[in-house]
A and B are shown apart, each in its own frame.
Chain A
Amino acid sequence: MKPARFEYVAARSVEEAVAARAAHDDTVVLAGGQSLIPMLNYRVAQPDAVIDINRVPGLGGISVADGAVRVGAMVRHRQLELSDEAFAANPLLREVMGNVAHIPIRNRGTICGSLAHADAAAELPAALVCLGGSVTVQGTGGQRTVAASDLFMFHMTTTLQPDEIITEALFPALPDGAGYAFVEMTRRHGDYAVAGICAVITPDAGGGCAAASISACGIAEKPVRLPDVEAALVGTDLSEAAVRAAAAHVDGAVTNEDDGAGGRYRRKVARTLIVRAVATAVSRAAGNAGQGRA
């Protein structure tokens, strides 16, 4: 299949891109194109105009400062994956990236593009949710910041307005003393996940759970935090039995039953992944005690 006809706008600035979005009925933003172009090829998307932001200056940078990793709209997955600076501030990002498709796709696909595409089974949105990150968006009405918890609405749907463009994503650094893990279950490596779990666990001095942030992809109509699991985990001794008991609280959040993975199976997968992710995060936290981050 080939894309249907569209008007092509090679934007030279964010303002120009925003104006072009506002000027047409139905537009899409082309950054890496690794989710968009398949949709164009299949004609699932038949926009009036494709707004290409590849030549907009100033969108290609990664910066680490003030306790956060900031990622511009044209930063490719592979760039963030290989960034030692980003890894030092938040090693979770590299682990997540390793699960996103394959290297040739990661060479082209962008971080902000994945967030805007908002696939419910995609890894990056779940990471943004787990870390409590945000995106900066620009529209005709100006710039605003949207928290991860307010960004994702439904599978492939965000709360962004039709004229808005994500210009930057902000991933907070890993908290001091915390451990992290991203684990997922896919039928083949690189596929979208049946379920994926992102966990950041901060143990206290006695080895108990001081804080937990856990999110999931693939289990619901959007990436979700798992507050019931987190609440059940905080204050426990993080023993395998305690983690297993806490993981059972994921059941109510599993609403996705498609792709040949029924609810009962997916709940089981999600529970198992939580146990694995928390165990890995806890073991890594032991090596991270007192280590200063960005």
Chain B
Amino acid sequence: MPNQPDRMGARLADGDGGVPITVTVNGTTHEKTVSPRMLLSDFLRHELRLTGTHVGCEHGVCGCCTVRLDGETARSCLTLAVQADGAEVHTVESLGEEGALGPVQQAFKECHGLQCGYCTPGFLMVVTDYLDKNREPDLSEDGIRTALSGNLCRCTGYQNIVAAVRRAHELMQAG
């Protein structure tokens, strides 16, 4: 379709004033020149082809695009790529790979913590952060649901996601 600007997430175009950035993503350092209006989510997906980070609502409500930015969870759709200059980013791709799932991924698989999978990358990042940061995480129903409250899932009804958080904790303790 012609006249559909920006479908690729504001790639550098004439008059856009490219800004050079250096970003370390999942341990690999990238030097790129980006449009200042490019969102970090689009940078990851379109420039680095790391399409594990999903884009849902693009205004910070759904949590699908959650990554870790310098060790803290952040909405990549509410962060400009230029703001990640000099930063270390971790995406869902950092959690494991096919045949060698990380504990949180393994737990989601075992507990059926996903159906369509669209929201899953965001949940995996948030759960990883929660279990990494809390040596004795609150694994009560309330505690888990509060930790997950920034992420929406329209399939599961959350029960299996809550179960997956407990299972992931077990796997991490054992591992």
B157 to chain A, nearest CB (A): 15
Q: Kindly state whether residue B83 has any CB partner on chain A within 8 Å.
A: yes
With known contacts A37-B80, A41-B39, A103–B150 Cβ distance under 8 A: yes
Q: Point out the residues of chain A lying under 8 angstroms from B73, CB to CB.
A: 103-104, 107
Whether A10 lies near B37 (C-beta < 8 A) is: no
Q: Point out the residues of chain B lying under 8 angstroms from A104, CB to CB.
A: 63, 66, 72-75, 126, 150
B62 to chain A, nearest CB (A): 11
Whether A33 lies near B6 (C-beta < 8 A) is: no
Q: Kindly state whether residue B78 has any CB partner on chain A within 8 Å.
A: yes
A152 to chain B, nearest CB (A): 23
A261 to chain B, nearest CB (A): 19
Complex interface bits, B55-97 against A, C-beta within 8 A gives 1, otherwise 0: 0001110010010010011110111101100000000000000
Task: Give the most central of B16, B36, B59: most A CB within 10 Å.
Answer: B36
Q: Point out the residues of chain A lying under 8 angstroms from B172, CB to CB.
A: none
Complex formed: what's the CA distance from A30 to B81 in Å? Answer: 13
Whether B78 lies near A8 (C-beta < 8 A) is: no
Q: Kindly state whether residue B9 has any CB partner on chain A within 8 Å.
A: yes
Q: Kindly state whether residue A4 has any CB partner on chain B within 8 Å.
A: yes
Whether B36 lies near A50 (C-beta < 8 A) is: yes
Complex formed: what's the CA distance from A33 to B150 in Å? Answer: 17
Q: Point out the residues of chain B lying under 8 angstroms from A105, CB to CB.
A: 60, 75, 78, 150
Complex formed: what's the CA distance from A3 to B40 in Å? Answer: 12
With known contacts A5-B15, A6-B36, A108–B149 Cβ distance under 8 A: no
Complex formed: what's the CA distance from A111 to B82 in Å? Answer: 22
A83 to chain B, nearest CB (A): 15
Which one of B60, B63, B74, B80 contacts A38 once the chains associate, using CB atoms below 8 Å?
A: B60
Whether A102 lies near B15 (C-beta < 8 A) is: no
Closest to A189 in B: B149
Which one of A30, A34, A42 contacts B80 once the chains associate, using CB atoms below 8 Å?
A: A30
Whether B58 lies near A78 (C-beta < 8 A) is: no
Whether A41 lies near B80 (C-beta < 8 A) is: no
Q: Kindly state whether residue A7 has any CB partner on chain B within 8 Å.
A: yes
* B 16-54 contacts with A by CB, 8 A: 16-17, 19, 36-37, 39, 42
Q: Point out the residues of chain A lying under 8 angstroms from B80, CB to CB.
A: 30, 33, 37
Complex formed: what's the CA distance from A37 to B78 in Å? Answer: 5
Complex interface bits, A1-26 against B, C-beta within 8 A gives 1, otherwise 0: 11111111010000000000000000
Whether B10 lies near A42 (C-beta < 8 A) is: no
Complex interface bits, B125-162 against A, C-beta within 8 A gives 1, otherwise 0: 01000000000000000000011011000000000000
Whether A5 lies near B75 (C-beta < 8 A) is: no
* A 178-237 contacts with B by CB, 8 A: 189-190
Whether A8 lies near B150 (C-beta < 8 A) is: no
- 8 smallest CB-CB distances across A and B, nearest first, come from A102-B150, A8-B36, A38-B59, A104-B73, A3-B37, A107-B72, A2-B6, A37-B78
Between-chain CB contacts (< 8 Å), 6 pairs: A6-B36, A7-B36, A41-B59, A101-B150, A104-B74, A108-B75
